[in-house]
């Protein structure tokens, strides 16, 4: 069957269309993306502005039409931290449903961590043993650990690259004092969760997902997208420690010239690097492997698991 998953995130709205059936690997058939920057469309009270709601409705309507055009039998629409934390979330969801027919399901941070973990487990298989999974989104950082398909620990922290950039790094290039303050904040937040993860024992395999980790691995020398999804891509903490001061000294325009870094994500790369470096350091991770599957694939896999056989 042809399924669509509609991901309304902090940075983008992404429709992924796949051909899938239970027991088989979902095969991508179409991808439709639109930049949203929803976190930047909040007013001083934390509500999505009228302009933001109109833009959101317009983009979702376009994605829903694209799903119909591509022959999707079912669309799985969900929203993450930017909508979840908006003070007018209920009003936004109601309006989206009324004007587009799309009933957005808001995932909790723990849901995000668990579904991403499921996708990573299916990608690497049981031979990967105990998995530690890190995912840096626009609004939050998810950490999950476990040996089965459902993690033993799943944590979500408000340490997304977009959120931190908007709140902590106004300069271009950023003020060194702001970078130092953000580094301190990130590490204090992550440190609160270290005990919950470390008590479960050392992982056999550490994995990073999301655009931020992919871009950091790419600038550190990992293979580009042309090498395909099965090329192994790794990121070391040593490389991050070398890149953070270099990224701190760059303007957004200079970061956008780095290999694999898109213009739309360049502003967030430094904050993402600080989160990645902090998480790897505090959790004792020297190196991790990039997984091409993440939350969207987890949503699809969970839906397939519940289809009648």
With beta carbons less than 8 A apart as the criterion, state whether 117 and 294 touch. no
Q: Are residues 255 and 121 in the same domain?
A: yes
Instruction: Tell whether 88 and 123 lie within a shared domain.
Output: no
Which of 52, 78, 106 delimits the end of a domain?
106
Q: What single string gives the DSSP state of each residue in 15-74? A: EEEEE--TTSPPEEEEEEEEE--GGGGB-TTSPBPHHHHHHHHHHHHHHHHHHHHTT-SE
CA-nearest of 59, 99, 79, 77 to 17 is 77
**Average pLDDT for consecutive 10-residue bins of the chain (309 residues)?**
93 93 89 83 86 92 96 96 92 96 96 98 97 96 98 97 93 97 98 96 97 97 94 98 98 97 93 98 98 96 86
Burial of 171 (0-12, 13-18, 19+ CB in 10 A): exposed
Structural domain boundaries enclosing 29: 2-106
Report the alpha-carbon distance of residue 303 to residue 22 in Å, rounded: 9
CATH of the domain at 280: 3.30.420.150
d(CA 110, CA 141): 10
Measured CA to CA in angstroms, residue 299 lies from 3, 4, 225 at distances of 11, 10, 23
Indicate whether 87 and 199 sit together in one domain.
Answer: no
Note the pTM of the prediction, 2 decimals. Answer: 0.95
H/E segment holding residue 8 = strand 2-8
210 found inside a domain: yes
Comparing C-alpha atoms, which of 27, 233, 39 is closest to residue 137?
Answer: 39
Number of domains the chain is built from? 2
Asked whether residue 208 is domain-assigned, the answer is: yes
Phi and psi (nearest 5°) for 195?
Answer: -60, -40
Domain-embedded: residue 58: yes
**Domain presence at residue 33:** yes
Q: Is residue 77 part of a domain?
A: yes
In terms of domains, do 102 and 204 share one? no
Q: How far apart are CA 78 and CA 107, in angstroms?
A: 7
Is there a single domain that holds both residue 99 and residue 128? no
Residues 102 and 113 in one domain: no
Residue 47: the pLDDT is: 92
Last residue of a domain, one of 81, 106, 131: 106
Residue appearing with tokens 């000294």: 249
C-alpha separations of 133 from 8, 22, 27, 232, 275 in Å: 21, 24, 23, 16, 14
**121 falls within a domain:** yes
Burial class (CB in 10 A: 0-12, 13-18, 19+), 303: middle
In a domain, 288, yes or no: yes
Tokens of 276: 């990645």
| Domain membership flag for residue 116 | yes
């Amino acid at each position: 069957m042809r399924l669509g998953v509609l991901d309304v995130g902090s940075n983008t709205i992404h429709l992924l269309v796949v051909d899938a059936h239970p027991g088989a690997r979902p095969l991508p058939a179409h991808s439709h993306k639109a930049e949203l920057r929803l976190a930047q469309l909040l007013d001083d009270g934390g509500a999505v502005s009228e302009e933001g709601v109109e833009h959101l409705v317009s983009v979702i309507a376009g994605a829903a039409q694209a799903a119909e055009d591509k022959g999707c039998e079912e669309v799985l629409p969900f929203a993450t931290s930017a909508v979840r934390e908006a003070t007018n979330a209920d009003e936004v969801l109601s309006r989206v449903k009324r004007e587009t027919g799309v009933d957005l399901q808001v995932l909790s941070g723990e849901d995000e961590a668990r579904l991403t973990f499921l996708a990573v487990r299916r990608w690497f298989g049981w031979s990967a043993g105990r998995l530690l999974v890190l995912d840096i989104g626009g609004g939050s950082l998810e950490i999950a650990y476990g040996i089965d398909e459902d993690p033993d620990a799943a944590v979500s922290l408000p340490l997304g690259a977009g959120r931190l950039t908007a709140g902590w790094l106004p300069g271009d290039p950023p003020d060194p004092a702001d970078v130092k303050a953000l580094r301190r904040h990130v590490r204090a937040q992550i440190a609160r969760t270290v005990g919950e993860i470390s008590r479960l024992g050392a992982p056999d395999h550490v994995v990073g997902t999301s655009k931020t980790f992919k871009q950091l691995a790419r600038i550190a020398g990992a293979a580009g997208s042309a090498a395909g999804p099965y090329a192994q891509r790794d990121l070391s903490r040593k490389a991050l420690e070398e890149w953070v001061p270099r990224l701190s000294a760059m303007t957004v325009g200079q970061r956008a010239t780095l290999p694999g870094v898109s213009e739309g994500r360049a502003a967030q790369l430094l904050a993402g690097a600080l989160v990645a470096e902090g998480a790897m350091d505090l959790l004792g991770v020297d190196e991790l492997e990039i997984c091409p599957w993440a939350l969207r694939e987890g949503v699809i896999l969970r839906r397939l698991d519940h289809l009648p056989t």
